[in-house]
Amino acid sequence: MKRDFGKLKGENFDLIVVGGGIVGAGIARDAALRGLHTLLVEKEGFAHGTTSRSTRLIHGGLRYLRTLQFKLVRQDLREREILLKIAPHLVHRLQFVIPALRSEPFYRFSLPFGLYLYDILAKGSSLPRWRRFSRQKTLDLEPSLVDIDGLVGSYLYYDCQAEFMERLCLENVLSAAENGACILNHAAAMNLLTKNGTAQGIEVKDTLTGENYVANGRMVLNAGGHWADLMWDKLNINSTDRLRRTKGIHLLTRKVSNNALVLFAKSDGRLFFVIPLGEYSLIGTTDTDYANDLDTVYASSSDVKYLVTEMRHYFPQFGQDDIYYAMAGLRSLVASENKAASDTSRAHKLVDHEQKNGKKGFITVLGGKITAYRSIAEEALDLVCKKFGVQAPCITADTPLPGAPAVPAQDIEQATQQHGLPLETVAYLATLYGSRFSVVLNYVSADKRLGQPIVASCRDILAQIKYAVDEEEAMTLSDFLLCCTNIGLGQSQGLDAIETVAREMGLLLGWSKTEEQDQIESYRALAALGQRFRTEAIN
C-alpha cells in the first residue's frame, strides 16, 4: 500500500469513497473485491474519528431491545458471527457480568427476558447462552463487586471485543489495496466535481504538502461519518435527511474488574460499560448532543464527573486519580424528532442523492454501528452495482481479512526461537497483526537492531515502525501510535515513545529536524486533549 497521488493522473475510477473510518474502509474493500476500480481518500489517518474512540465492542446491542430495535440487533448479532469468522485474530468473545441489585427490581425481572430474547435473535451463534448466578457465585467470578450494596446475584452473557479496533479498520484498507484499490490518507476531499448535475469526481488536497489534485470517477460515495453532511453544504443540498451528532466519552483507568461489566447509571438509568483492556479498564460511554468543533472533540469536566459519580455507586473508592486520560468521539446518527440522544436509532441510512436532490452519481451513508460496517458496505455496493448495471455478488462475509487466521501457539514458539525475541513480544505481535506477524519479523531477520523495544513500557519493537511506513501508509506519529499500533492507547498515551518513533520515522520519510519536532508537538497537542478535563476542573 503506497501513498501516491500520481496514481490519480489519467485515471477514471468507478467508485470514489470519501472517508477512511471503518465504514468507508469496508465499502472500499467490498468494491475492490467486486472488481470495481476504487479510490479511497481519508483526510486524516485511517480510523481517525469515531472508529478509534469507540467502546471496542462487536455486539448486537443488548440495550437496543428496550427501544424495540429488533431488526438492528438481529443484523448486528449476525455480523458479530461473521467477524468472528473472517477476523478471528482481532475479534474475540468477551463475557459480561450484570450485577443484580435488591434496589433495582425492574432490572432483576426484565433483564432475564431481554437476555433470553438476545439469545433467540442470535440464533446459530457460536457463543454460549446467558446464565444467572447467585451472590456468592457472582463474587467468585468477579470479586471486585464485593462493595456493591444490595448485591443479590448477577447475569452473565457473551458478546465480542475488538481490542485493536483501528487494525480492524486498517485490515479492510489493506484488503482493498491488495485487490487493486488506490488508497490515500491525509487526503481531504475539498469539493465534489459535477457536470450537468452528475458527479464527475472530487478535488482532493494532500494535507501534508498542500498540493491539490483532481480525481475523476463515475460515482462518489460519501462515508464521512460525522463530517458527512459538510459536503452537502458545499453543494447547496437541502435534504430532509439530517445528521445528529452526539458525543460519547471513555475513561482509561487502572484495572477495575476482571470481566466486562454492564452497569446502570443511578441518575438517568442509562447503561454503561466497564471493559477490560489489557492491563487497564475502559469505562463509558456518555451520549450527549454536540454542536461544537468537529475536529477538536474532548471530554469535558462535566462528562468525566458524570461517569466518576456513577462508578462510585458501584465502586465507592473510585475517583479521578484512577483515570489516566479521557477520550471523546462523535456518533453520526440519522436524526429523528423528539427523541433523546440515547433513544435515537443506531440504524444507518443510504441517501441516494439522484433520487433526493437530482445529484446523479452521489451517495451518502448516514449513521450505522461499527459492528454492522460490513453489511452497510454490502448494501451500499449493491446499490452502486445496480446503478452501474453490474452483476457482482458480495463476498466479504466469506473472505478472511489479511491477518486471518489466528496464529497457532506452535507458530509463535517457533518464531520466538527463530528470531531470538522474547515469547511475550512475539505473542503480542501475533495478536496485533495475526498471520502477518511473520512479515514484521522478517524486518528483524534483515536487521537485528529492529528487534529492540521501542520503549520499556510497551511490547512493540522498532521493526513495526518500518513495517508501518513501508506497508501501511504511516505518514505521521499519530498514524503509527494510534492506528498501526495501540501504543498511544496505553497509560502514557505514547508520550514516552514519541522521541524514538519520530527519529525512526524521520529517517524513513526524510523529515528534517524541524519536521520531526513539528510531528512531536502535534502529537503532544493531540494527547493533551485527553487531559483537558483536569484543566477545566481546576479553572
Residue 521: other Cβ atoms inside 10 A: 12
Residue 539's pLDDT band (cuts 50, 70, 90): very low
Contact between 461 and 450 (Cβ < 8 Å): yes
Q: Identical fold at 91-160+243-343 and 409-533?
A: no
Torsion of CA 214, 220, 224, 230, to 10 degrees: 70
pLDDT in tens, 7-55: 999 999 999 999 999 999 999 999 999 999 999 999 999 999 999 999 9
Q: Could you tell me which of 461, 498, 491 has the C-alpha nearest to residue 477? A: 498
Whether the Cβ atoms of residue 87 and residue 168 lie closer than 8 Å to each other:
yes
Cell of 512: 528534517
Give per-residue pLDDT as tens, 429-487: 999 999 999 999 999 999 999 999 999 888 999 999 999 999 999 999 999 999 999 99
- Structure-derived torsion over alpha carbons of residues 52, 55, 59, 65, reported in degrees to the nearest 10: -130
104: confidence class by pLDDT, cuts 50, 70, 90: confident
Say what the pTM is: 0.96
Q: According to the model, what pLDDT value does residue 334 have? A: 85
Interatomic CA distance for residues 469 and 3, integer angstroms:
10
Calculate the average pLDDT of the chain.
94
Count of beta carbons in the 10 Å neighbourhood of residue 354 = 16
Any idea what DSSP says for residue 391? -
Least confident span in 3-12, 223-232, 294-303: 223-232
Cis upstream peptide for 285 (omega within 30°): yes
Contacts of residue 53, Cβ cutoff 8 Å, sequence gap at least 6 = 248, 250, 297, 327, 328, 329, 330
State the pLDDT at residue 342.
66
Q: What is the mean pLDDT of residues 242-246?
A: 89
Rg (CA), the chain: 23
Assess contact for 380 and 221: CB atoms under 8 A: yes
pLDDT(338) > 70 = no
Q: Which one, of 501, 495, 496, lies nearest residue 516 by Cα?
A: 501
pLDDT digits (tens, 9 = 90+) for 86-95: 999 999 999 9
Q: What angle in degrees, to the nearest 10, is found between the helix axes of 409-419 and 423-433?
A: 120
Output the 3-class SS for 92-109: EEEEEEEEEECCCHHHHH
What is the structure's pLDDT at 337? 58
Q: Is 514 exposed, middle or buried (0-12, 13-18, 19+ CB in 10 A)?
A: exposed
Residue 259 has pLDDT above 60, yes or no: yes
Q: Evaluate whether 496 touches 457 at the Cβ level (below 8 Å).
A: yes
Rounded CA separation 35/32 (Å):
5
CB 114 within 8 A of CB 66: yes
Cα separation, 228 vs 354, whole angstroms: 17
Strand partners, 471: none
Q: CA–CA separation, 539 vs 532, rounded Å?
A: 11
Under CATH, what is the fold of the domain 409-533? Helicase, Ruva Protein; domain 3 (1.10.8)
Per-residue pLDDT tens for 57-82? 999 999 898 888 999 999 999 999 99
What pLDDT is attached to residue 105?
Answer: 83
> Could you tell me the residue ranges of all domains in the chain?
5-50+166-242+346-388, 91-160+243-343, 409-533
User: What gap in Å lies between CA 494 and CA 327, rounded to an integer?
Assistant: 14
Q: Residue 339's pLDDT is what?
A: 67
Check: CB of residue 207 under 8 Å from CB of residue 213: no
Domain 91-160+243-343 falls in which CATH fold? Answer: D-Amino Acid Oxidase; Chain A, domain 2 (3.30.9)
**Higher per-residue confidence, 336 vs 267:** 267
Dist. CA 169–CA 486, nearest whole Å: 13
Q: Are 505 and 469 in contact (CB under 8 A)?
A: yes
CB 473 within 8 A of CB 490: no
Residues 6+ apart with CB under 8 A from 535: none
Mean pLDDT, residues 236-255: 87
Spatial distance between the Cα atoms of 428 and 425, rounded to a whole number of angstroms: 5
* Alpha-helix runs per DSSP H in 34-96: 70-86
Q: What is the DSSP letter of 305?
A: H
Burial 376-410 (b: 16+ CB within 10 A, else e): bbbbbbbebbeeeeeebebebeeebbbbbebbeee
Cell matching residue 141 = 467470578
CATH number of 5-50+166-242+346-388: 3.50.50.60
Mean pLDDT of 133-159: 96
What is the rounded CA–CA span in Å between residue 340 and residue 112?
25
Contact call for residues 24 and 17 (beta carbons, < 8 A): yes
